[in-house]
Amino acid sequence: MEREQAYVTSVLGTGSYLPARVVTNEEIEARVPGASAEWIADRTAIVERRYAAPDEAASDLAVHAARAALDQAGLDADGIDFIIVATTTGDAPIPSTASLVQLALGAHRAACFDVNIACTGFVTALSIAQAYVALDPTTKVLVIGTDVWTRFIDFDNRATSVLFGDGAGAAVIASVPHAPGDPERGLLKVELVSRAEAHELISMPAGGSRRPASVETVADGGHLLSMQGRGVRDFVLDNVPGLIAGLLKRSGYEPADVRHFVPHQANGRLVAELAEVSGLERAATHLPLRHSGNLGSASVPVALDAANRSGVLQDGDLVLLAGFGAGMAAGAALLRWTVTEGGTR
């Protein structure tokens, strides 16, 4: 009797896109009261970020990243079964940003939907993709994180206006053959947590059914991002290291086994603290935020694509992704990196 073919869920290709406009710390200094270029670099490790062009929305950025991921995976858009877009700054409340991406790509077979969990969105979308692929090993999922946060920041607020940029990142998730007895591969485990009691730490209070758009909500800044920086830092350091430790323990690994740490690009100083508290000092921490800023839902996939395309992710490396942010929510994913035929990852 022939043995049934085994499969693992893997990343077939990654892609990313950053808008052309570069905004330096010096430009932010000229616009934001009390924010010198040196202060920004010291507090955040960011020296520049990208701003979307006036005619670019979240779906436009997502399409660029998606095409790059599909190209690396060697797939046409018609080969995709699901498009999952993680975004908090979609083109509009209706339709879903994923539907607009489908139209632009010509991915006519794909079912599409958005995930709105801010900076944890891409990791959450990965967990959904993993479930779809587990149900049917022929399934291929395009997972995208995209945000245009610069349209929603208050330039009178130093705490948020120095951090954010715009961008998109994508990954093609599918199954690849796995020989019985070989070391485990692919997307090993994803864990997610929510702490709704802390939801007021990051908010954009107007524009929904509780406070619909009005002259008053625009006047009082209700459509702009609000963030309590100290509270967010405490949330991350109080919750994410335990999430990472639990994920690694249940997967049979120690922090020292992790070769690459790909975190949400919140703030360089905060990420350094997180890596240290989590025992990940030996891992390579990937921080493209120096030249991109905090990209919200796009942070993790943009950082993953940068690491992938640089060639530092080797076959068999243990890679840890971590997202955290509004909700409040956090998520972590553990991958045994797999290089598939043709050199795609």
Closest CA to 147 of 168, 131, 161: 168
Structure tokens at 2: 């022939």
185-194: string of b/e by CB count within 10 Å (b at 16+)? bbbbbbbbbe
Give CA angle at 37 (147, 298), nearest 5°: 15
Omega before 204 cis (within 30°)?
Answer: no
The active-site residue out of 64, 119, 260, 308 is 119
The active-site residue out of 264, 267, 286, 308 is 264
If residue 9 lies in a helix (H) or strand (E), which one and from where to where? strand 6-17
Closest CA to 101 of 165, 48, 170, 52: 170
The Cα-based distances of 230 to 66, 90, 233, 235, 237 in angstroms read 35, 27, 5, 9, 11
The verdict on whether 294 is a catalytic residue reads yes
The verdict on whether 64 is a catalytic residue reads no
The active-site residue out of 25, 157, 267, 294 is 294
The verdict on whether 264 is a catalytic residue reads yes
If residue 315 lies in a helix (H) or strand (E), which one and from where to where? none
Q: Hey, is 163 helix, strand or coil?
A: coil
Q: Are 122 and 135 in contact (CB under 8 A)?
A: no
Q: Are 256 and 263 in contact (CB under 8 A)?
A: no
If residue 137 lies in a helix (H) or strand (E), which one and from where to where? none
* DSSP codes joined into one string, 248-291: HHHHT--GGG--EEEE--S-HHHHHHHHHHTT-TTSEEP-THHH
Closest CA to 173 of 149, 204, 210, 137: 137
Catalytic residue annotation = 119, 264, 294
